[in-house]
Amino acid sequence: MELRNARIVTPGRVIENGSLSVAEGRIVEITEVSGTPSGLTVLPGFIDLHIHGGGGADTMNATPEALATLCRTHAAHGTTRLLATTITQSREAITAALVNVAASTEPVLGGIHLEGPYISPGKPGAQPKEFVRSYDAEEFAGWLTAAQGKLRQITLAPEQPGGDALMAACNAAGIMISLGHTDLTAAQTKSALDAGARQATHLFNAMNGIHHRNPGPVPVFLTDPRARVEIIADGHHVAPEVIAMVYAAVGPTRFIAITDAMEGAGKGDGIYGLGGHKVTVTNGKATLADGTLAGSLLLMDQAARNLRAWCNLGWLELAQVTATNAADQQGWHDTGRLTEGALADLVVVDEDLNVQATYVAGNCVYSREQVPLAEG
């Protein structure tokens, strides 16, 4: 396969009119070419580390059909790898979701993000509070077995009972520790980073805010180079001005765009479910009955549009915050970047970041009817 006469966004360099050749699922050559540019851009495929659902399906449905719908929905918006994310629920419900993901062969599926249940009862957000609990070593060991090596990331509150033991178990299993739904102080945040945590789950949301004499976790995340930060760039969870502030603080290498999408993503306004809650979606905003934000309707192409506008990002920076940083955070060094030898996980977009085609390992998983690029 060859894509020609497109802008190619490689690490550190944008080729304004280039060709990208693929063989056996990997990029074999990227070169400059002559001819009339198509007006299209090839970016590394978007990577989303925090997705609950989409297209009317949810990870917790625990069926192959639901996972297929979720993956197809996000692939149509440029996502080439995602972590199917659970929610705080019963042992049985979480186990079923893990078993389902572990058995899946969906090409977009990169693994599991376990969000809860070992979080703070004071910061549940939209997580069902009745299922929030302290670390249970036997339960967690069972989940590791059920996940068959696909448990890649966990959101936890390290200040809760058993937090140290849980982080040690995650470090031993090679699971990325993300801190969220937490009552952390600044000092506790530093201690958790010392213990191996490396990420903030949806920064600002479901954690203590900033006060100039009681800073909480946010300033630590913004200034400690060991941590990357998730941001839900929908304009509802965090104001655009604050997102711009975060980007200015952490720069292009520590910012990870996520959607935190729930099942209504790609569907529009209506009534949906999330962890047993009824969620009302109105004008693109998902809330519980009490007004609590309940995931998002965001898809990664819209996140990219928002971040380009709010943070004044160029193509290089956009590729980092929507793909490269997430790949590096997960140790996926053969994706998230357009380089020779990397997997051909890529998205073709127009100037307005509308997705024209999505490829995973060189296979087209989504395409509009006509993509004006030479391909063969």
Catalytic positions, please?
A: 260
Q: Please give the Cα distance from 323 to 308 (Å, whole number).
A: 14
Report whether 169 contacts 140 (CB < 8 A). Answer: yes
Cis peptide before 117 (omega within 30 of 0): yes
Sequence-distant (6+) residues with CB within 8 A of 370 are none
Report whether 336 contacts 44 (CB < 8 A). Answer: yes
What residues are paired with 46 via a beta bridge? 79
- Determine whether 151 is exposed, middle or buried from the number of CB atoms within 10 Å of its CB (0-12, 13-18, 19+): buried
Q: Please give the Cα distance from 256 to 40 (Å, whole number).
A: 24
Report whether 83 contacts 113 (CB < 8 A). Answer: yes
**How many other β-carbons are positioned within 10 Å of the β-carbon of residue 4?**
19
CA angle 49, 52, 54 (to 5 degrees): 110
Indicate the length of the chain as a whole number: 376
The amino acid at 50 = H
Q: Please give the Cα distance from 111 to 82 (Å, whole number).
A: 7
CA count, 13 A, side-chain hemisphere, 172: 9
How do the residues of the chain divide into helix, strand and coil, expressed in percent and rounded to 5? 30, 30, 45
Report whether 370 contacts 80 (CB < 8 A). Answer: no
Name the nearest CA neighbour of 112 among 92, 84, 134: 84
